[in-house]
Amino acid sequence: MALDSPGNVLENPSVLRVVAALREHGVRGEITVLPDAVRTARAAAAALGVDVARIANSLVFRAHPFDDGIRPLLVLTSGAHRVDPVKLADLLGLEEISIADAEFVRSRTGFAIGGVPPLAHLEPPMTVVDVSLSRYETIWAAAGHPHTVFPTSYDELLRLTGGIPAEVT
């Protein structure tokens, strides 16, 4: 069986990095391994049998400008929402934000699109957490691989990431 198949996914180095970071932060929630890869909030919601609004969709953007150049910006938004990049850039005092390509995401976070978790990034990003997630007791976030998620809460996401609570739509 391949290392990234559902049967061995908990041994994947990216998942192990997330598990270690969660434990360092005292998070007790267990990683859930899904039978199929879920690369979208809708697919994750369907696999878990929950409303798509309960999925903390991890979107990585390029934040422009910073004194030290372009930096990663992680937006944890409800899977039911679309981020308004102009509104978000204004809120954060940035000239612009643009969606990051797969290479930027992998090189800056250490994770592939579809499995980007809210923590354990190679380069800690500025993080924004969608306030609409606060409506739910349990929300689900990626755990380092398209087959893995973990249960969390809005308050816990803010604590884990040091994120800025904001309306992102």
Structural domain boundaries, residue 15 = 9-166
Q: What percent of the chain has pLDDT over 70?
A: 94
Cβ contacts of 17 within 8 Å, gap of 6 or more: 110, 120, 144
Is 94 part of a structural domain of the chain? yes
Q: Which helix (H) or strand (E) holds 157?
A: helix 154-161
Summarize pLDDT for 69-86 with one digit per residue, the tens: 889 999 999 999 999 999
pLDDT the model gives residue 72? 95
pLDDT band at 5 (very low <50, low <70, confident <90, very high): low
Average pLDDT over residues 130-154: 97
DSSP label of 77: E
Is 29 part of a structural domain of the chain? yes
Tally the domains of the chain. 1
Is 2 part of a structural domain of the chain? no
Which CATH number covers residue 68?
3.90.960.10
Is 3 part of a structural domain of the chain? no
pLDDT the model gives residue 1? 34
Is 13 part of a structural domain of the chain? yes
Which amino acid is residue 41, in one-letter code? A
